[in-house]
Structure 1
């Protein structure tokens, strides 16, 4: 997880005489970077979760501090260090009250302390933490995709609190805006924000990107708990995005991490099934027949089955610009109710009766039990193949 203010400021009072004077409840905030800002009109280069330092050199008096703090918080900063000295000689009570009320940590550092030393130290800690996070993510990737090469992940995970005797569950998430998968910088920003939302989890967890997915796993977390985390993310994070569709898949829970490669496949199945069924969150245990279909790794096998089942009707529809395949699918979805099919397709029931008779007589489909099972299987396969 990204570094918190409380970890970043460990030993800071001893080393730099930095004191926390307000906003204690915000010390679990995650820190992205450290910036010096002297303009009370907070610049637009802040991306969120920055720690700000200021000397007040461009200001007069102390009334500007409250405006400055409010603007920082508005732009997503998570804390402020005031360099107390010739330009800041006191801090108004209303600033301290505002920071306490809004869980915005406010610190002071004496003028004789060189801020360049503080920023160098803090930036070094942030970078070291990011390198640690990258190392953990690499270890989990090796665990998932090269489970036989234990030297590539066991020691790295054990050193960071991920032990082989605990419970593990894997969450896989994909998100799209207006049908286009989110990726790049936006995906990385979402990853950081996810960590902020889940900062109160008291167990080791790791979030990393894998192609067009975000992967989350945690030690000592079962599938029920992971689903609760997914619901928190959905309510506190993704509901804030406009025109964004999120599909989350959750694996079964395993004991020990040697079966995490299986968890990844299960979460992949659940996430893609959630997308097909237009669900936000889906557990692997609830994927039904899609367990079998996604277990077929060679998509050519699915295509062959689809072709064997539908080739006559697909070819006829293509040549004559008809919709017999769609009619058949609608008929099965409505359990053979001509009235419901007629209503859904917005045509007369006699037209549906004619089409179903034509399907029976010309495509060798009798709609007996064995036919219905085979057709449903083929339609489910077709959904997977068409989406991928």
Structure 2
């Protein structure tokens, strides 16, 4: 976890700082602080930026040269810096309009700081804020890992310790899993092959998630694991409403920033006992599996809304499921192999989804009504069932759900 650019406005040593440009970028995360000074070439000083730094300059090599300051802002943007603080008074009297316009265009927050403010205090306080944020993240990451992946009983004081870092875990909580999809397609399309490329993509995605949650005042323990981001959230109505807005924003931002990428979100049931968060986690994963088997992308869903899939995915022995659907649907599966007509399974699936309405199902399948009537009668004969009988329809519907789960 890093602090955001807007967070430095709250620091004591920066009470006199002013944001004069690039305000749309104040929710970027600061990885570190970088004091850049070079008399001969002001641009030389920032060539070592690695991304995520906020840069501080006194302007000793710039003076009031608007063109150099604008170039500096462009270079900071090019090297993925997140902002620029200019010490005003001694070498730079004021920020040229041209530089402010460049900062606005590139969304690089541009600040002015009075000369009398000691830069050593500024850099010290920003550095401390970043370090404390990382300590907090590590502690809460460890906390969530223990809840979800270790077989231990949570102590009664655990909520108090979480509260020390500003995490309110009172009342019912639930687990949310964000599943990132199609990363392999991105790597292939962009000719990215090494682990560093994958790491950079995942870092961007994690920041998008963190930024959106913080923007909507959601302070939660987060862990990222391969292509998933997992976090614990309070289940009170106002918390869940803010979570829903944040998740939709995450989907929108990711789809705009990273081509081909989409995410599915699963939310488990809420429990007051933190020892039951494992249950919520498993439920959230079942939601993801359900969306996956249905071929759905960019969907946010709760466990309580996945219906029978929750039951089917909780059956760990898949042989039981396979035996069931083979017993129920075996005759039409075997018969289908002998011809190249439209899938009998597809016909049955659509017919049941349309509540056994021949006309609507025929339209969906692009079949003549009489043709579909004949095919339905054939299915009834092969399966020895009556598709106007509720119990028979229920048995077949469950078998069709199972096909999605096991194949």
Shorter-chain TM band: 0.7 to 0.9
State which of 378, 382, 386 in structure 1 corresponds to 2:403: 382
Counterparts of 2:394 and 2:141 in 1: how far apart (Å)?
42
Q: Which residue number in structure 2 is paired with residue 316 of structure 1?
A: 335
C-alpha distance in structure 2 between counterparts of 1:153 and 1:138, whole Å: 16
Counterpart position of 2:346: 326
Q: 2:235 & 2:79 partners in 1: Cα distance?
A: 36
> TM-score, normalized by length of structure 1?
0.78
1:30 aligned onto 2:29: yes
Distance 1:359 1:344 in 2: 18
Counterpart of 1:359 in structure 2 is: 379
Could you say if the C-alpha distance between residues 363 and 196 of structure 1 is closer, same or farther in structure 2, counting changes exceeding 3 Å? same
- Answer yes or no: is 1:200 the counterpart of 2:215: yes
Tell me the CA shift for residue 377 of structure 1: 1.0
SS in 2 for 1:166: coil
305, 321, 324: which one pairs with 1:302? 321
- What are the ranges of 5 or more consecutive residues in structure 1 without an aligned counterpart? none
Contact 1:306/1:382 (<8 A) preserved: yes
Describe the shift of the 1:110–1:6 C-alpha distance in structure 2 as closer, same or farther (beyond 3 A). same
State the match for 2:246 in structure 1. 229
Counterpart-to-counterpart distance in 2, 1:29 and 1:168: 28
CA distance in 2, matches of 1:176, 1:71: 33
Pairs aligned (count):
380
Which whole-Å CA distance do the structure 2 matches of 1:107 and 1:12 have between them? Answer: 15
Kindly report which structure 2 residues correspond to 1:166-185, keeping only aligned pairs within 5 A, or say none.
Answer: 166-177=171-182, 184-185=199-200
| 1:274-293 alignment runs, 5 A limit | 274-275=291-292, 276=294, 278=296, 280-293=299-312
Question: Is this contact kept in 2: 1:306–1:378, CA < 8 A?
Answer: yes
Alpha-carbon separation, structure 1, partners of 2:147 and 2:243: 20
Structure 2: stretches of 5+ with no match in the other structure: 37-41, 188-197
Structure 2 length as normaliser, TM-score?
A: 0.75
What residue number does 1:145 align with?
A: 149
Distance 1:202 1:20, change over 3 A: same
How far apart, in 1, do the equivalents of 2:328 and 2:61 lie? 76
RMSD: 4.2
Q: 1:373 Cα deviation (Å)?
A: 0.3
Query: What CA distance in whole angstroms lies between the structure 1 residues aligned with 2:110 and 2:63?
Result: 23
- 1:307-346 CA-partner distances (Å, limit 9, x unpaired): 2222232233235555322222222223333344444333
